Amino acid sequence: MGIDPGLTRCGLSVVQAGRGRAVLPISVGVARTPVDAPLTHRLLDLSQGVSEWMDEYQPDVVAIERVFERGNVSTVMNTAHAVGVLILAAAERGIDVHQYTPSEVKKSISGNGRADKKQMTTMITRILGLSEPPRPADAADALALAVCHCWRAPMIARHRQAEELLKTQQRSH
């Protein structure tokens, strides 16, 4: 499951990893909260929205964008509140969470860590063989996060195995 976190619009996607770099899109959408609602209500709405997705699709793993400072502190804080709720929803279900920076996702999907929204949407549409680009951009970003993780998961698994082997060898000496 890929999640592009946001308090107003939160992109949600579910994909299935195939052989090699093949990834099949399962579902994509956006959870929205009203801008004029109190923060507590918005976070509750977001929690319920992502929980419904997780309960329906039962993902094995969640890939979410890592929050970074964008200049506007209130925007960053709201996004950080949203990320906390989203990670908690995964944790309550025992789902592993992996965080990726925007530049990591852009580099993985387009080969360019500075790709713009249009390039990213074009690439994710092509990679997943979609008949039309996902809208809004938050939905495309959620798909990009999911694909990024699918492509990185084998390397992450090998890295974990190597760490475990090293720990085992250190204990035996």
Query: Binding residue per annotation — 116?
Result: no
Query: Binding residue per annotation — 60?
Result: no
Residue 9, domain CATH: 3.30.420.10
Please confirm, yes or no, whether 36 is among the known catalytic residues: no
Q: What is the pLDDT of residue 72?
A: 78
Total domains in the fold of the chain: 1
**pLDDT, tens digit, for every residue of 4-31?**
999 999 999 999 998 888 999 999 999 9
The residue annotated as part of the active site, out of 52, 116, 138, 141, is 138
Mean pLDDT, the chain, whole residue set = 94
How much is the average pLDDT of 33-43? 97
Range of the domain at 44: 2-172
Q: Pseudo-torsion of CA 155, 89, 139, 143, nearest 10°?
A: 20
Please confirm, yes or no, whether 138 is among the known catalytic residues: yes
Q: What is the pLDDT of residue 119?
A: 96
The residue annotated as part of the active site, out of 45, 55, 65, 69, is 65
Global pTM value: 0.91
The residue annotated as part of the active site, out of 4, 60, 96, 141, is 4
Query: Binding residue per annotation — 141?
Result: no
